[in-house]
């Protein structure tokens, strides 16, 4: 992920320093486990712990010759250790280091994502409660439908993100896995006790079975869940983008002092954060597809997955981390305009109450289609002329047989749409 969308805490996990430090920890833990089994001298392990270190620049220089990153790493560490280096990487294969390191990285990366999502949920709950009774128009197909409340919009986002939190937590549990089973996973040259010791010390669980690598379905699921969270954020950001349109302007993302909306037009206040979130969500879905393609490998392994994983796993976690961070800012600083919501509510001259009129006619004994025809006829007149829907009902011969003005005044009542809001909120936030 480019620096622009990388936050320091997450970026640290994917940098070489963290990767090689974790790999060195794995190598030393393997030595400790082997010493406990009496396979290598404990004194040698103590000496290795004191001397073991690495130099990233030197590793890269060695790799230019070896064309193998783990060989370069082991070679470089061995140069610092000296004669005891003969015990290093004993019975291990490259993927023992790489996949177990990946388990540590993904566990920590997932923890960051979970924490940010939990914070976003708290912010959403606060804003949802604040606007619980703020009436606005609900839209279907982009067209005015019936009144809802802005708080209900946010409550739905909250409920969706609660499901996403569970998905991320499950993903974290699944990717917190390591393997130290040697070439093709038979434990021929390293005992399962060694794997169990290393994983326990690192806070991972040992893979129940592996080939030379951990099965890639685990990471495919992780990437899909990350993509789903990102897609939810895209959904919410898209709603804000629509609400920020000049002709709507019911809500808009924060616009900071000194911020510029356009290099040419000083008046512009654009939903750039929400648009950025929508763009990054596409990256997450693309990464998920690559993760799915990485599941099918040749025999006990190939490395067709390796090159892409070096990109998609850091990018996916970095991108979602950034998206959550920015959307928290958007929700915290969301500008909401209840007065514009009321202006938009009356734009269709009362048409938003058409279902209530329909139901009232049916209550009076009319068959549904007969009642529907009456209401639609009056509604189409309002659409065509821009006239008042209530007046059109009162002047319609068929409708006027059933209504007087007082009846319609009671039907054209926004409070009706708020009567069950508290019940919905109880279900969402209980």
CA distance 248 to 347: 11
* DSSP H or E run through 335: strand 335-336
What HEC string does 36-71 produce?
HCCCCCHHHHHHHHHHCCCCHHHHHHHHHHHCCHHH
> What DSSP state is assigned to residue 343?
H
Six-digit token string for 369:
């289609």
Among the listed residues 68, 78, 89, 141, the single catalytic one is 141
> What DSSP state is assigned to residue 310?
H
Instruction: List, in sequence order, every residue forming a beta bridge with 251; answer none if it has no partner.
Output: 336
DSSP assignments along 139-164, one per residue? EETTEEEEEEEHHHHHHHHHHHHHHH
Among the listed residues 42, 262, 296, 307, the single catalytic one is 262
DSSP-based helix, strand, coil % in the chain, nearest 5: 70, 5, 25
- Distances from the Cα of 4 to the Cαs of 30, 103, 319, 322, in angstroms? 38, 26, 10, 9
Q: Which residue has the tokens 């659409």?
A: 383
- The region, left, alpha or beta by phi > 0 then psi within -120 to 50, assigned to residue 270 is beta
Among this protein's residues, is 296 annotated catalytic? no
Residues in the chain: 430
Residue 269 near residue 260, CB atoms below 8 Å: no
Q: Distance between the two ends of the chain, CA-based, in angstroms?
A: 38
Q: How buried is 185 (Cβ within 10 angstroms: 0-12 exposed, 13-18 middle, 19+ buried)? A: buried
Among this protein's residues, is 141 annotated catalytic? yes
Catalytic residues: 141, 262
């Amino acid at each position: 992920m480019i620096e622009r969308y990388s936050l320091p805490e997450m970026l640290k996990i994917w940098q070489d320093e963290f990767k090689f430090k974790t790999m060195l920890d794995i190598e030393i833990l393997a030595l400790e486990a082997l010493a406990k089994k009496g396979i290598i001298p404990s004194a040698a392990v103590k000496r290795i712990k004191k001397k073991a270190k690495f130099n990233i620049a030197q590793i890269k220089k060695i790799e230019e010759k070896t064309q193998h990153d783990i060989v370069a790493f082991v070679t470089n560490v061995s140069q610092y250790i000296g004669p005891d280096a003969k015990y290093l990487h004993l019975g291990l294969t490259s993927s023992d280091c790489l996949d177990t390191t990946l388990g540590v990285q993904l566990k920590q990366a997932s923890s960051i994502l979970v924490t940010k999502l939990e914070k976003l949920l708290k912010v959403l709950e606060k804003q949802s409660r604040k606007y619980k009774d703020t009436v606005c128009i609900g839209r279907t197909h982009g067209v005015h439908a019936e009144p809802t409340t802005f708080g209900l919009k946010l409550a739905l986002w909250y409920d969706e993100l609660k499901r996403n939190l569970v998905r991320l937590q499950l993903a974290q549990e699944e990717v917190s896995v390591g393997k130290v089973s040697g070439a093709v996973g038979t434990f021929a040259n390293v005992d399962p006790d060694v794997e169990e010791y290393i994983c326990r010390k690192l806070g991972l669980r040992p893979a129940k079975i592996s080939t030379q690598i951990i099965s890639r379905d685990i990471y495919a699921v992780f990437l899909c869940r990350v993509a789903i969270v990102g897609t939810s954020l895209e959904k919410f950001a898209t709603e804000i983008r629509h609400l920020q349109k000049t002709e709507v302007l019911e809500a808009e993302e924060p616009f900071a002092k000194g911020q510029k909306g356009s290099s040419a037009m000083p008046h512009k206040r654009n939903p750039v954060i929400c648009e950025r979130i929508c763009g990054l969500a596409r990256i997450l879905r693309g990464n998920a597809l690559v993760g799915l393609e990485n599941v099918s490998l040749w025999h006990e392994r190939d490395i067709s997955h390796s090159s892409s994983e070096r990109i998609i796993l850091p990018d996916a976690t970095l991108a979602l981390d950034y998206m959550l961070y920015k959307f928290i800012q958007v929700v915290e600083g969301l500008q909401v305009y209840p007065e514009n919501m009321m202006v938009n509510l009356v734009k269709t001259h009362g048409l938003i109450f058409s279902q209530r009129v329909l139901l009232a006619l049916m209550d009076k004994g009319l068959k549904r289609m007969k009642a529907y025809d009456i209401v639609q006829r009056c509604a189409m007149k309002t659409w065509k002329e821009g006239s008042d829907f209530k007046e059109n009902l009162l002047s319609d011969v068929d409708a006027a047989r059933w209504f007087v003005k007082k009846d319609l005044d009671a039907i054209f009542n926004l409070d009706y749409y708020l009567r069950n809001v508290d019940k919905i909120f109880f279900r969402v936030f209980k």
